[in-house]
Chain A
Amino acid sequence: MTRLIKIYLVSLKNSFAARMAYRGDFFLCCVLILVSEMLVPLLTMLIYSTGASFPGWNLAEVMVLQGVFMLARGTANLLFFGIVYNTLSHVREGTYDLFMIKPVSVLFISIASGFEPDSIGTIAGGLLVTAVSAGQLQPPDGADILRFLLIFAFSLLILFSFAVLMSATVFKWVGNSRIYEIFDSITSFGNYPLTIFGRTFRIIISYIIPVSVIAFYPASALLGKDISGFVPAIPVCVLFLILSLGVWKLMLSKYTSAGG
């Protein structure tokens, strides 16, 4: 384990060093990511400014939800989502073999070398939106924060599973850079309260593709709202992870080294 942590830290240092070769661009990117991440909250504010609203949620509450969504995405991007780009580009080039000959798990080294420093902008944005909006509401108590942290861990688990699934598909679907768009479109449901969706759809995004675990349930916990729907989603999250790891293993075995 210590060895893996050391490898991860060295990879992290390398990623930072490589990114710092274009320092100006890095800082600009962080700021721009922060600005671009504000898009969904901005649109929500514009909707609420017309006097309209999402049923059962005031503006500050929706902002907390969208802030948590950004926070989860940012953390995932920083820590492990680089695996998708890593796999995508190396499989396309036919250089993924370089990961396979290293004396550590292929999955681990793909994650470790995919550290994305630019995501700091997203995390900052998420923290800012969540903190400012939560400040306008009744402060959460210790139990709410604990519940939030627990569910947030599941949120990262779901995003990790998505990342593994996406990178698994690019072994077969070589060079498909639009995989991100598929992911963004599916997870965009997670930016809004479950209450706006129809009953069937709520079941789909809670218990089949658990997108609602990314932000709706963590935000609900932080806001002291009902989270009873989260409990049945726990085994689904675990199954989703097992499925993604299984698919990864299967697709890795189909890697041909040929590029594309």
Chain B
Amino acid sequence: MSRPEAAEKVIKQIRVMKAVAFATYKEWAAYRTHAMVSIFVGPVYFLVQYFIWNAVYAAKGSINGLTLEQMMRYFGTAALINYLIMDFADWNLQMLIHTGKYLTYMLRPMSHIYFALSQKVGHRILGFIFEFVPVFLIFAFVFRIPLIPANIGYAAVSVLLGFMMMFLVDYCVGVTAFWLTRASGIRRMFLLLRDICSGVYLPLSFFPGTVQKVMFVLPFQFISYVPARVCTGTYELAGIVLGIPQIVGIQALAVAAMLLFTVLFSRLGNRRFTGVGA
């Protein structure tokens, strides 16, 4: 393929993504008050964490190497990152397979993975406006949490990679529906595992040493834990301390490997699709 042809192809893909993202944005903007629920829910959950950790730190200056201020910063950052990377590709794909509607996507001149990714882009732009920005302001001005990343460039790259990793992991969960048809149980299990292992509920450094070692090799830490630690400026897991450029590099490699796996897994699943639904 010549260079102009390749460039044209890339431009076409960007145009397709822009169109799908815009349509998704418009579609979900009709339900923007649903997104705005986060303005209430996010700070309320954070308030619970605030009380818990204030009580816990009352007798201790530092727990697992984190001070109260660092802990609050971690939770604030992790919550905000979640608004940027949140995903439901698993649910969507499972529903399409379950109902047989996936057939219509097989007939389209683009892969479903790319379509779903473009949908996520549009959906999260909406999330950025109606969830991220208001909650960021509440965390920064009401709770006075220092949320500006130590290195904005690396933090942006890491969040972007976290966005991709979240999508790919969820998409793989959705692909299991090609075999299981109705996979809500599997979905729940994976989502729970994903959230625990990605550090949404507690920094991964709180888990026992052996568990931390397992988590280090799993893809989940790259969803939320790594971006949150990159934003706070330090990274440590299972006794391994890495510089920010190193961990972001590892995160990029992990995303590339996951992308390859997702494409192969999805192709395998497509072969099983009968178009009937269940």
Answer yes or no: do A and B interact: yes
A residues with CB within 8 A of B = 22, 24-25, 28-29, 32-33, 35-36, 39, 43, 46-47, 49-55, 173, 175-178, 181-182, 184-186, 188-189, 192, 195-198, 201
Q: Contacts A43-B202, A55-B55, A182-B37 hold; do A192 and B48 have CB atoms under 8 A apart?
A: yes
In the complex, which of the residues B33, B48, B201 has the most CB atoms of chain A within 10 Å of its own CB atom? B48
Given contacts A28-B186, A32-B185, 12 further A-B contacts (CB under 8 A): A25-B184, A25-B185, A28-B185, A28-B189, A43-B201, A50-B206, A52-B56, A173-B33, A176-B33, A178-B37, A184-B41, A189-B51
* Chain A to chain B contacts (Cβ below 8 Å), 17 pairs: A24-B185, A29-B185, A29-B188, A32-B185, A32-B188, A32-B192, A36-B188, A47-B52, A50-B63, A50-B206, A51-B60, A181-B41, A185-B41, A185-B48, A192-B48, A196-B52, A197-B51
Residues of B within 8 A of A (CB-CB), count: 33
Question: What is the 8 Å Cβ interface bit string for chain B, positions 162-199, against chain A (1 contact, 0 not)?
Answer: 00000000000000000000101110110010001000
Q: Contacts A32-B185, A52-B57, A185-B41 hold; do A176 and B34 have CB atoms under 8 A apart?
A: yes
Contact B63 A175 (CB under 8 A): no
Q: How far is the CA of A117 from the CA of B87 in the complex (A)?
A: 28
Contact B48 A189 (CB under 8 A): yes
Contact A178 B201 (CB under 8 A): no
- Chain B residues near A201: list those with CB within 8 A: 51
Q: How far is the CA of A43 from the CA of B34 in the complex (A)?
A: 29
- Chain B residues near A51: list those with CB within 8 A: 60, 63
Contact A185 B56 (CB under 8 A): no
Q: How far is the CA of A46 from the CA of B53 in the complex (A)?
A: 13
- Chain A residues near B37: list those with CB within 8 A: 176, 178, 181-182
B114 within 8 Å of A (CB atoms): no
Interface of A is mostly: helix
In the complex, which of the residues A181, A182, A192, A198 has the most CB atoms of chain B within 10 Å of its own CB atom? A181
Contact B207 A46 (CB under 8 A): yes
Contact A188 B45 (CB under 8 A): yes
- Chain A residues near B41: list those with CB within 8 A: 178, 181-182, 184-185
- Chain B residues near A195: list those with CB within 8 A: 55
Q: Which chain B residue has the least Cβ–Cβ distance from A181?
A: B41
Contact B56 A54 (CB under 8 A): yes
- Chain B residues near A35: list those with CB within 8 A: 189, 192
- Chain A residues near B196: list those with CB within 8 A: 39
Q: How far is the CA of A32 from the CA of B54 in the complex (A)?
A: 31
Contact A175 B31 (CB under 8 A): yes
Q: How far is the CA of A58 from the CA of B83 in the complex (A)?
A: 35
Q: Which residues of B1-55 are within 8 A (CB) of A?
A: 31, 33-34, 37, 40-41, 44-45, 48, 51-52, 54-55
- Chain A residues near B51: list those with CB within 8 A: 189, 192, 196-198, 201
Q: How far is the CA of A24 from the CA of B181 in the complex (A)?
A: 12
Q: How far is the CA of A173 from the CA of B33 in the complex (A)?
A: 9
- Closest approach, in angstroms, between the C-beta of A172 and any C-beta of chain B? 11
Q: Which residues of B70-91 are within 8 A (CB) of A?
A: none
- Chain A residues near B186: list those with CB within 8 A: 28
Contact B58 A55 (CB under 8 A): yes
Q: Which chain B residue has the least Cβ–Cβ distance from A52?
A: B56
B107 within 8 Å of A (CB atoms): no
Q: Contacts A181-B41, A196-B51 hold; do A39 and B192 have CB atoms under 8 A apart?
A: yes
- Closest approach, in angstroms, between the C-beta of A183 and any C-beta of chain B? 10
Please pick, from A33, A50, A54, the residue contacting B55 in the complex, using a CB distance under 8 A.
A54
- Closest approach, in angstroms, between the C-beta of A249 and any C-beta of chain B? 24
- Chain B residues near A50: list those with CB within 8 A: 60, 63-64, 206
Q: Which chain B residue has the least Cβ–Cβ distance from A33?
A: B188
Q: How far is the CA of A196 from the CA of B58 in the complex (A)?
A: 10
- Closest approach, in angstroms, between the C-beta of A103 and any C-beta of chain B? 34
Q: How far is the CA of A189 from the CA of B202 in the complex (A)?
A: 17
- Closest approach, in angstroms, between the C-beta of A202 and any C-beta of chain B? 10
B217 within 8 Å of A (CB atoms): no
Q: How far is the CA of A33 from the CA of B59 in the complex (A)?
A: 34
- Closest approach, in angstroms, between the C-beta of B247 and any C-beta of chain A? 23
Contact A52 B201 (CB under 8 A): no
